[in-house]
């Protein structure tokens, strides 16, 4: 029985088919991202949803729908199967009593980026890659650095100088070659691209959507949501969108599950959430465009979604259109206020990107786009403790002999 039923990789734009058994970056015909495709008939014949329930509680429980060929090639730190938590008190406050949070802050490395790193690094190592390079806003670089170390791969990471300090320390601790650039992730991307081009094939470009397997790790969020709900889907899923890999992955996963016959009914409406200071997807969506344009002067405290021009923008916009979804912005002030509100009512310290998604849920409920009786899932993509600067502390200092009344 095959561990994976990967068939090939396919261009997400022109549909050109590519060999999945050697390292791949972008489509050689049109330069667009490649997507992994599976023999779904073979998957349907080899496993049933009820059998998956007895497997280990990690993302590799879905290995037939993942690209790693051999169980011996799996590089893991125990990632996956994060909780789907009811947010009853906060949900009641904003008029969404059926609100749920998929909490990715509990995953290894403290963010959902570990999913993409686990699968991407595993497949890269299986295909013979020895050195990775990537630009990052912080968390992805930290995840790929640590998983790369676990796999015995060398790595070079370039991130903006303003990236979260903890993610820098994760890279350094792993032995990764870390460089900081006084600019944005797009500037880091240019530097990495030049390094890869000059390497003569010795360095593999693991940038967002420039290899086809990070998305496969991210898509397991969608499979988990469906399984945790008893193999059904919610009405709405809100996702903080920078590069948008998770949103694209969730949409891909649910389409595969539906084709397998494991899901029925309409797809959940997908919502791309961005900050007002960097909202290329929202602008493109509102203007009815099929691609985004570069967002000048990108800036937001939600650093993980500070991506001025996502490579997979057309795939994000397709996912929104195909699910009757939408795209919405929130201000930094709104998301920081929501972060405090969620923590005070639910005891969950979410990351600023997750807080942006909660602020968007509040906005969409107020406008009526989300109805009171709908089941809504918000993705909290990381642990709030990785962003300590989002909550300033000005507590009084007591003398050692002080008393409180």
pLDDT 10s digits, 219-274: 999 999 999 999 999 999 999 999 999 999 999 999 999 999 999 888 999 999 99
Q: CA-CA distance, 62 to 243, in Å (whole number)? A: 24
Average confidence (pLDDT) over 51-78: 98
On the question of pLDDT at 163 being above 80, the answer is yes
Q: What is the share, in percent, of the chain residues with pLDDT greater than 90?
A: 99
Nearest CA to 284 out of 219, 329, 339, 230 is that of 329
For 349-379, b/e burial (b = at least 16 CB within 10 A) is bbbbbbbbbbbbbbbbbeeebbeeebbbbbb
Reported as a pLDDT band with limits 50, 70 and 90, residue 145 is very high
Average confidence (pLDDT) over 384-394: 95
Residue 341 CB-density burial (10 A; 0-12 exposed, 13-18 middle, 19+ buried): middle
Q: CA-CA distance, 242 to 307, in Å (whole number)? A: 5
> What is the per-residue pLDDT for 265?
83
Tell me the chain's radius of gyration from C-alpha atoms.
Answer: 21
On the question of pLDDT at 285 being above 80, the answer is yes
Q: CA-CA distance, 219 to 104, in Å (whole number)? A: 13
Average confidence (pLDDT) over 128-152: 97
Average confidence (pLDDT) over 370-395: 96
Cα–Cα–Cα angle for 150, 153, 157, nearest 5°? Answer: 100
Residue 289 CB-density burial (10 A; 0-12 exposed, 13-18 middle, 19+ buried): middle
On the question of pLDDT at 20 being above 80, the answer is yes
The total number of residues shown for the chain amounts to 405
> What is the per-residue pLDDT for 72?
98
On the question of pLDDT at 15 being above 90, the answer is yes
> What is the per-residue pLDDT for 352?
98
Give the tens place of pLDDT for each residue, 24-52: 999 999 999 999 999 999 999 999 999 99
> What is the per-residue pLDDT for 190?
97
Q: Which residues pair with 135 in a beta bridge?
A: 158
Q: CA-CA distance, 180 to 33, in Å (whole number)? A: 26
Average confidence (pLDDT) over 67-83: 98
DSSP class of residue 111?
B
Indicate the helix (H) or strand (E) that contains 5: none
Q: In the structure encoding, which two tokens stand for residue 384, read together?
A: 């709030």
> What is the per-residue pLDDT for 264?
86
* Residue with token string 């790693």: 68
Nearest CA to 227 out of 339, 387, 9, 62 is that of 62
Strand ranges of the sheet holding 326-330, from the earlier edge strand across to the other edge: 84-86, 99-103, 376-380, 236-240, 269-275, 326-330
Give the tens place of pLDDT for each residue, 194-223: 999 999 999 999 999 999 999 999 999 999
Helices 113-126 and 214-228: crossing angle, nearest 10°? 130
> What is the per-residue pLDDT for 1?
73
- Tell me the domains of the chain and their CATH numbers: 84-110+215-386 (3.40.50.1100)
Give the tens place of pLDDT for each residue, 290-341: 999 999 999 999 999 999 999 999 999 999 999 999 999 999 999 999 999 9
Residue 54 CB-density burial (10 A; 0-12 exposed, 13-18 middle, 19+ buried): exposed
């Amino acid at each position: 029985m095959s561990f994976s039923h990967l068939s090939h990789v396919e261009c997400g734009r022109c549909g050109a088919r590519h060999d999945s058994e050697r390292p791949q970056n972008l489509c050689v015909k049109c330069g667009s991202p490649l997507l992994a495709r599976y023999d779904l008939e073979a998957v349907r014949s080899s496993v049933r949803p009820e059998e998956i329930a007895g497997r280990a509680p990690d993302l590799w429980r879905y290995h037939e729908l993942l690209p790693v060929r051999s169980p011996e090639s799996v590089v893991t730190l125990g990632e996956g199967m994060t909780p789907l938590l009811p947010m009853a008190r906060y949900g009641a406050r904003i008029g969404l009593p059926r609100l749920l949070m998929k909490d990715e802050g509990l995953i290894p490395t403290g963010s959902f980026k570990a999913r993409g790193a686990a699968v991407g690094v595993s497949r890269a190592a299986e295909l013979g890659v020895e050195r990775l390079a990537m630009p990052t806003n912080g968390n992805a670089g930290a995840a790929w650095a640590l998983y790369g170390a676990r796999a015995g791969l060398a790595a070079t990471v370039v991130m903006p100088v303003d990236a979260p300090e903890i993610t820098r320390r994760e890279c350094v601790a792993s032995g990764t070659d870390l460089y900081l650039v006084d600019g944005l992730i797009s500037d880091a991307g240019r530097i990495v691209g030049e390094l890869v081009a000059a390497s003569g094939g010795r360095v593999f470009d693991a940038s967002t959507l420039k290899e086809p397997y990070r998305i496969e790790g991210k898509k397991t969020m969608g499979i988990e949501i469906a399984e945790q709900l008893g193999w059904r889907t919610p009405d709405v899923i809100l996702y903080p969108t920078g590069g948008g890999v998770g949103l694209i992955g969730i949409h891909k996963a649910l389409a595969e599950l539906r084709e397998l016959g494991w899901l029925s009914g309409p797809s959940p409406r997908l919502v791309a959430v961005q900050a007002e200071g960097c909202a290329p997807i929202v602008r493109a969506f509102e203007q009815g465009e099929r691609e985004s344009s570069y967002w000048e002067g990108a800036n937001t405290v939600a650093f993980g979604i500070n991506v001025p021009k996502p490579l997979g923008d057309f795939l994000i916009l397709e996912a929104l259109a195909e699910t009757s979804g939408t795209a919405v912005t929130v201000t930094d002030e709104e998301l920081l206020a929501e972060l405090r509100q969620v923590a005070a009512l639910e005891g969950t310290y979410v990351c600023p990107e997750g807080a942006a998604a909660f602020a968007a849920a509040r906005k969409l409920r107020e406008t009526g786009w989300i109805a009171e009786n709908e089941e809504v899932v918000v993705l909290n993509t990381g642990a709030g403790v990785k962003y300590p600067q989002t909550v300033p502390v000005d507590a009084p200092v007591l003398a050692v002999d002080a008393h409180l009344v």
